[in-house]
Amino acid sequence: MIGFLIRRLGQSLLLLFIVSMIGFAILHLAPGGPLSQFAAGGDMTQADLDRIAEQLGLNRPLPLQYAEWLWRMLSGDWGRSYRDQQPVLHVIASHLGATFELMLTSTLLAMVIGAWVGILGAIRRYSLFDAFATVGAMVALSIPTFWFGLVVIYVFSVGLGWLPAGNRYTVDDGSLLNQLHHLIGPCIVLALVSTAVWSRYMRSSMLDVINQDYIRTARAKGVPERQILLRHALRNALLPMITITGLQIPTLLSGALVTETVFTWPGMGRLFLDSISYRDYPVVMGILMFSAVLVLLGSLIADLLYGVADPRISGSH
Amino acid sequence: MDRNRFGRLFSQVGLNRRDLFGLGAGAVAAASFRSGAQAQTAGKASPPPPAKPTGVVVVGLSQEPVSFNPLMPGVEVDEVVWTSVFNSLWVAEPNGSLKPDLAVEVPSEANGGIAEGGLAWTVKLRNDVKWHDGTPFTAEDVKYSLELINAAGFKARTRVGHAFVKDIAVKGPHEIAWRMEKAYAPYLAMLANTHIVPKHILGKAGDPNTAPFNNAPVGTGPFRWGTRTPGDNITLLAYEGYHGDGPYLEKAVLKYVPDMTALYAQFRTGQVDIVIISGIPANFYQEAIKLPGRKVVVAPSGNLEIIMPNLGNKVFAEKAVRHALYAAMDKQAIIDAIYYGVPKPTESFAPRESWAFNPNLPAQKRDLDRANKLLDDAGWKRSGSGTRMKNGVPLEFAVSTTTGNQLREQCQQLMQQDWQQIGAKMTINNMPAAVIWGEFYVRSKFESLLVGTTFRTGVDPDPASRFASDAIPVKGGSGGNYMQWENAEADALMKQGQETFDQEKRKAIYWKLQEIVREELPILPIFQYAPIEGVKEGLIGYRPNINQRQNAWNMGSWYWAK
Amino acid sequence: MSDAPFTSEALHGPAPGFWNNPGLRRFRRHKLAVFGTITIVLLTLACVFGPMLLPYTDTFIDIRSRFAAPFSGPHILGTDPLGRDILARLLMAGRISLAVGFSAMIIAMVIGIVVGMVAGFYEGAVGAALMRFVDAMLCFPSIFLLLAISALISPSVPSIVMLIAMTSWMEVARVVEAQIRSLKTREFAQAAISFGASSGRIMLRELLPNAVAPIVVAATLNVAHAILAESYISFLGFGIQPPTPSWGNMLESAQSYLTSAPWLAIIPGAAITLAVTSFNFIGDGLRDALDPKL
């Protein structure tokens, strides 16, 4: 177990190193730079732009810039944003809350609905409900998230006027109710895909369990069906779902980025988009590393939990 | 709030003093300045402002203000914070005149503030100004600010004009003097947009580039720094010890709504009180003017929408081609159909509100026959594919603009169809903002651009940094002549314009320059920008100002009618 | 994978009656897969031949008849802000989007198969290095990768195809690697190795054909993914350039007309959803048909 953990951690660090290198190279080799936004305005001369590029150290050789970035990173300094001069970790932290709020609520929603649909689909296999759930899940996986978001805004905000068209809260109204009201739209949109994923996995996991010997034995013994499902089947069927949650993190991050854009949600996704369009290199790198850590951590925890829950797994990996 | 409000009102009305440098604009500009918002201040009487700061205004912005040190690089939205939290020595008014702010008067040769033909400057400062933390404002702060701009290692926004300043001397707590290395008329205009920062705070920071001050600025302006929720909003609070007009609002919230459509939606529902800078997309104009309780204003802007050809390109190097393309362009369709008739076509590089604007330039008329003849005469022969050729070079080029700008993309597609009819093959090659305005732009790597930009120096009509042949970066210059235009006659005129102080004489120079530019077409002007801004009814004091980079420049004097 | 549906003999030998193939029978029983196949065939036919039957071309600008609503006049699906026929644009866009989907899939499959095969066959240092690279690429949430790279390239059709392929081959590589690794230990592979066949021959002639089932499934899902990815890239402003229409850039340019002309957004969005759903149905059906164990 300990050996496995150490090996996995070592692998993860190696991965982070590769990720940082790829990310850094892509970012800095891309045309354009952090000064473009000022050149567009026309009130700063070329001499000004050249001077600032020099001051930011953008003219130095790329490997040198990377080495310096890595060295600082290792010593805990993530750099400062080119835009507001704040430390990168501070910038990320100030956007994290909004994204976590969105991810957490939508994951909970997806879990509850997805599990329910999946279980019901498994119990009533090949029923009309199961057929609808299957088709529904496939369609949900196929809808472009941003388009679904636009449709939700068009129907519920523009048409019916039930939901606000964006933002996290109304200015000068920080009440919980107000925040929840704003959360509904983006939460539904972000939960759509995860619900579909959850229901599919839950269904197949449940089917696996239902066909196991001990369930059949329990049935033969005359244990009430309800008790069989809740006591035995569900508990075992939920086990593999732990893994899914961990592995869903990258999908959720991508989904959050798009959803935040559509609903003008002030979270990490917006921050990333803004930072990349202004070429705020330190912040983009920071977010990349942060999400990579999150992804690795997600899969590591998934593996560990799965290993703890099912001792047969841990050694074999 | 210890000053007499009526006195302030008078000083505001009587401020049309014109400085001798002729930088300010006065009569010409005022006469041609027509705007819905102007009527508000000039026309019907507004209710008086409240005695004590009350109410909140929510200003909707489609970009996020992030740069709060006014001497460091920033864009228009950042200036909303700068003009509210800080002051400059004087400010440019809508009519182009300069109004003293931290200074007692705008220096001129008449009042002795500028002497030795523009080489010696003396500025007297107000003695009743306090920083937000209560510390008195003195000449030391001005000296510190001007020195900081030129300090090595400081990421100053621009050193244009400032680089000529030397021997700054504090002559008293409220008087400062300096010398210029050369007479440079536009420096007055530069100072109108140079905000003064506090020496007693920033001067103590180890590195002014990363000082805590940069995220909690302390100024002398009508609003002091409140809170910032990154990615969402900034709250500014009334500074009751303000030396000037106002503030009348208790709080100003700068709300960041990243999408212009969403921003308009929030303006419509009333979540946002005023939409400035990027404004309301033109396709909502018709709908917006009918909104109850909302006032929609077509604000004047010094920006021009142009096709910027790269004259280093074989096709565009030929004047006949530029004239043919210009003649084949359906400007009216672009303006009417895509921009809903809001902006006005223009032939000049100067905004029509400027005193230097030449209204007598020949008007572009769509004339395909003329365009075809121009190309025929110049030896561009139609080939089998329909695209003209000359000496093996096809009449083919790309027009680039920023991706995601839907109106510009529509505009490109209209032009594409127009130009196809005269045998010119245009392709579209759009890029994200960070890419297009990078090397592609400043190293003149584009074939042509569809771009909105200005050709002046601050408030001053001097376009030398955009048109002079020593301003071509790709040829070692340091300006913004990215189309690589070289014209000896124009160079001479611009040099003359910079060294001449008499406005009438300068006007003659710039009229001639505009004729040359219209004849040579180093840029194909389409229209002068007319951003559509929206204000909730009852908000008094909003005055669009073509001489500022954004129209919250006077937020201190805004208030809600009861 | 002890009982893979196809052995190399079955593939190379005479087919035992195409329509009676048990896999195909299972596929035909999968109603959704059949629906998906029919939809894709119809959609492809419409996109290929449809534009020829229409009175308007996709780029004909008629500014006077802009914003015509669907089913209200000569333009069946209405017109866009420049007065262009939406049906004509939708079908031309379909050509582009489907072509982008298929080409991106093929490139992604080639990269994924080569990387997966080499990594699975050689294992050891080479395999580990390749798979760590795959893992690293998977660490980036796909949108982040798309966004970062799309800034690097000019947005033409081929470059968008490359971009999507570059960001979607990793899953394929993983699937193939796992397959090859397990197939390598089987008797027929071991026999080929002991006969001294070259590595390339073993990989291509012995191992790859036996891994074809999961590859086909992955390929189908990859097309679906690629069509979606094209729309995301367009939505974020890095997509295919006008006037060439694609479903993604039609949607992108419709955003600001959501209130005044909602059909501009609804029509291409529905087209994307239909196409992607169909490919997912087919993928699902293929999975059931080719490998009942999956």
3-state secondary structure of B235: strand
User: What pLDDT, on the 0 to 100 scale, is given for residue A256?
Assistant: 83
Cβ contacts of C65 on chain B, cutoff 8 Å = none
**Does residue B135 belong to the interface with chain C, where contact is any CB pair within 8 Å?**
no
Residue from B266, B403, B415, B426 whose CB has the most chain C CBs within 10 Å, to mutate: B403
Question: Is the separation of the CB atoms in B252 and B236 below 8 Å?
Answer: yes
Longest dimension (CA), chain C: 76
DSSP secondary structure code for residue B213 in this structure: G
- Which residues make beta-bridge pairs with B427? B398
Query: Does the distance separating the beta carbons of C63 and B409 come in below 8 Å?
Result: no
Which residues between 237 and 276 in chain C have a beta carbon less than 8 angstroms from any beta carbon of chain A?
251, 255, 258-259, 262, 265-266, 269, 272-273, 276
Buried b (16+ CB within 10 A) or exposed e, B322-347: bbbbbbbbbbebbbebbbbebbeebb
Q: Which residue has the tokens 């009942």?
A: C292
Question: How close B77 gets to chain A, by Cα (Å)?
Answer: 12
3-state secondary structure of B417: helix
Question: Is the separation of the CB atoms in B546 and B301 below 8 Å?
Answer: yes
- Strand B175-180 and strand B120-124: the pairing is antiparallel
CB atoms within 10 A of CB B14: 8
Cβ contacts of C154 on chain B, cutoff 8 Å = 429, 431
- Surface-to-core class of residue A150, CB atoms within 10 Å of its CB (0-12 exposed, 13-18 middle, 19+ buried): buried
Q: How many residues does chain A have?
A: 317
Helix C142-150 with C212-235: angle, nearest 10 deg: 60
Q: Which residue has the tokens 């933390």?
A: B133
Question: Is the separation of the CB atoms in B225 and B201 below 8 Å?
Answer: no
Query: Does the distance separating the beta carbons of C137 and A251 come in below 8 Å?
Result: no
Q: How far apart are CA C15 and CA C12, in angstroms?
A: 8
User: What pLDDT, on the 0 to 100 scale, is given for residue B16?
Assistant: 30
3-state secondary structure of A168: coil
Chain B neighbors (3+ CB pairs < 8 Å)? A, C
Residue C278 neighbours by CB under 8 Å, 6+ apart: C35, C36, C37, C39, C40, C43
Residue from A147, A190, A204 whose CB has the most chain C CBs within 10 Å, to mutate: A147
Amino acid (1-letter code) at residue B497: G
Q: How far apart are CA B385 and CA B311, in angstroms?
A: 25
User: What pLDDT, on the 0 to 100 scale, is given for residue B20?
Assistant: 29
- Choose among B90, B87, B160, B78: nearest CA to B123: B90
Amino acid (1-letter code) at residue B300: P
Question: Is the separation of the CB atoms in A80 and A275 below 8 Å?
Answer: no
Each residue of C180-202: pLDDT tens digit? Answer: 888 888 888 788 878 877 888 88
- Choose among A238, C82, C258: nearest CA to B411: C82
Closest chain A residue to the Cα of C261, Cα to Cα: A154
Query: Does the distance separating the beta carbons of C256 and B281 come in below 8 Å?
Result: yes
Cβ contacts of C255 on chain A, cutoff 8 Å = 150
Question: Is the separation of the CB atoms in B350 and B356 below 8 Å?
Answer: yes
User: What is the pTM (predicted TM-score) of this model?
Assistant: 0.82
Cβ contacts of A85 on chain B, cutoff 8 Å = 67, 69, 209-210, 214-215
User: What pLDDT, on the 0 to 100 scale, is given for residue A33?
Assistant: 81
User: What pLDDT, on the 0 to 100 scale, is given for residue B532?
Assistant: 93
3-state secondary structure of A39: helix
Q: How far is CA B471 from CA A146, B452, B474, in A?
A: 44, 19, 9
Q: How far apart are CA B442 and CA B481, in angstroms?
A: 9
Q: Please give the helix or strand (H or E) that residue B521 lies within, else none.
A: none
Query: Does the distance separating the beta carbons of C133 and A254 come in below 8 Å?
Result: no
**Does residue B461 belong to the interface with chain A, where contact is any CB pair within 8 Å?**
no
Q: 3-state SS string over chain C?
A: CCCCCCCHHHHHCCCCCHHHCHHHHHHHHCHHHHHHHHHHHHHHHHHHHHHHHCCCCCCCCCHHHCCCCCCCCCCCCCECCCCCEHHHHHHHHHHHHHHHHHHHHHHHHHHHHHHHHHHHHHCHHHHHHHHHHHHHHHHCCHHHHHHHHHCCCCCCHHHHHHHHHHCCCHHHHHHHHHHHHHHHCCHHHHHHHHCCCCHHHHHHHHHHHHCHHHHHHHHHHHHHHHHHHHHHHHHCCCCCCCCCCCHHHHHHCCHHHCCCCCHHHHHHHHHHHHHHHHHHHHHHHHHHHHCCCC
- Choose among C221, C281, C230, C265: nearest CA to A137: C281
Longest dimension (CA), chain B: 80
Q: What are phi and psi of A163, to 5 degrees?
A: -120, 150
Handedness of CA B382, B388, B390, B393 (dihedral sign): negative
Judge whether residue C133 has pLDDT over 60. yes
- Strand B304-309 and strand B524-528: the pairing is antiparallel
Question: How close C158 gets to chain B, by Cα (Å)?
Answer: 14
Question: Is the separation of the CB atoms in C115 and C128 below 8 Å?
Answer: no
- Surface-to-core class of residue B368, CB atoms within 10 Å of its CB (0-12 exposed, 13-18 middle, 19+ buried): middle
Judge whether residue A118 has pLDDT over 70. yes
Closest chain A residue to the Cα of C150, Cα to Cα: A30
Q: How far apart are CA B287 and CA C294, in angstroms?
A: 56
Q: So what's the ipTM on this one?
A: 0.80
Query: Does the distance separating the beta carbons of B333 and C252 come in below 8 Å?
Result: no
Cβ contacts of B157 on chain A, cutoff 8 Å = 38, 44, 48
Cβ-Cβ contacts under 8 Å between B and C: the total is 58
Q: Where are the alpha helices (DSSP H) in chain A?
A: 2-29, 36-41, 46-56, 62-74, 88-123, 128-142, 145-152, 176-210, 213-220, 225-227, 234-247, 249-262, 268-277, 281-309, 311-316
Closest by Cβ to B417, choosing from C61, C154, C257: C61
Q: How far apart are CA A280 and CA A282, in angstroms?
A: 6
Query: Does the distance separating the beta carbons of B156 and A95 come in below 8 Å?
Result: no
Cβ contacts of B532 on chain C, cutoff 8 Å = none
Q: How far apart are CA B131 and CA B1, in angstroms?
A: 15
Cβ contacts of B432 on chain A, cutoff 8 Å = 32, 277
Query: Does the distance separating the beta carbons of C237 and B283 come in below 8 Å?
Result: no
3-state secondary structure of A185: helix
- Choose among A268, A302, A270: nearest CA to A100: A268
Q: How far apart are CA A310 and CA A304, in angstroms?
A: 10
Q: How far apart are CA B281 and CA A145, in angstroms?
A: 25
Q: What is the pLDDT along chain B (562 residues), one digit of tens a residue?
A: 333 333 332 233 222 322 323 333 333 333 333 333 443 444 456 788 888 899 999 999 988 899 999 999 888 899 999 999 999 999 999 888 889 999 999 998 888 899 888 899 999 999 999 999 999 999 999 999 999 999 988 989 888 889 999 999 999 999 999 999 988 878 888 899 899 999 999 999 888 988 999 999 999 999 999 999 888 899 999 999 999 888 999 999 999 988 888 888 889 888 899 999 888 988 888 889 999 999 999 988 888 999 999 999 999 999 999 999 999 999 998 998 888 888 999 999 999 888 899 999 999 999 999 999 999 999 999 888 889 999 989 999 999 998 878 888 889 999 998 999 999 999 998 887 878 888 889 889 999 999 988 898 777 888 988 999 998 989 988 888 999 999 999 999 998 888 777 788 889 999 999 999 999 999 999 999 888 999 999 999 999 998 888 999 999 999 999 7
User: What pLDDT, on the 0 to 100 scale, is given for residue B559?
Assistant: 95
* Higher per-residue pLDDT: B171 or C212: B171
Confidence of residue C256 (pLDDT cuts 50, 70, 90): confident
Q: How far apart are CA A37 and CA A172, in angstroms?
A: 31
Q: Which residue has the tokens 């290395």?
A: B181
Q: Which residue has the tokens 């690697």?
A: C177
Question: How close B261 gets to chain C, by Cα (Å)?
Answer: 6
**Does residue B406 belong to the interface with chain C, where contact is any CB pair within 8 Å?**
yes
Cβ contacts of C63 on chain B, cutoff 8 Å = 333, 337, 414
Question: Is the separation of the CB atoms in C203 and C119 below 8 Å?
Answer: no
Amino acid (1-letter code) at residue C4: A
Q: How far apart are CA A266 and CA A289, in angstroms?
A: 20
- Which residues make beta-bridge pairs with B60? B255, B275
Each residue of A188-227: pLDDT tens digit? Answer: 999 998 898 888 888 888 887 877 777 778 778 887 877 7
Q: Which residue has the tokens 């930011």?
A: A56
As a whole-number percent, the residues of chain A with pLDDT over 90 amount to 11
For residue B242, give both structure tokens: 């303000």
Confidence of residue A310 (pLDDT cuts 50, 70, 90): low
Closest chain B residue to the Cα of A278, Cα to Cα: B434
- Surface-to-core class of residue A1, CB atoms within 10 Å of its CB (0-12 exposed, 13-18 middle, 19+ buried): exposed
For residue B556, give both structure tokens: 């201190």
- Choose among C148, C41, C163: nearest CA to C104: C163
* Higher per-residue pLDDT: B558 or C8: B558
Q: How far apart are CA B372 and CA B374, in angstroms?
A: 5
Q: How far apart are CA C282 and CA A138, in angstroms?
A: 11
Q: How far apart are CA C281 and CA B295, in angstroms?
A: 52
User: What pLDDT, on the 0 to 100 scale, is given for residue C17?
Assistant: 56
Judge whether residue C10 has pLDDT over 50. no
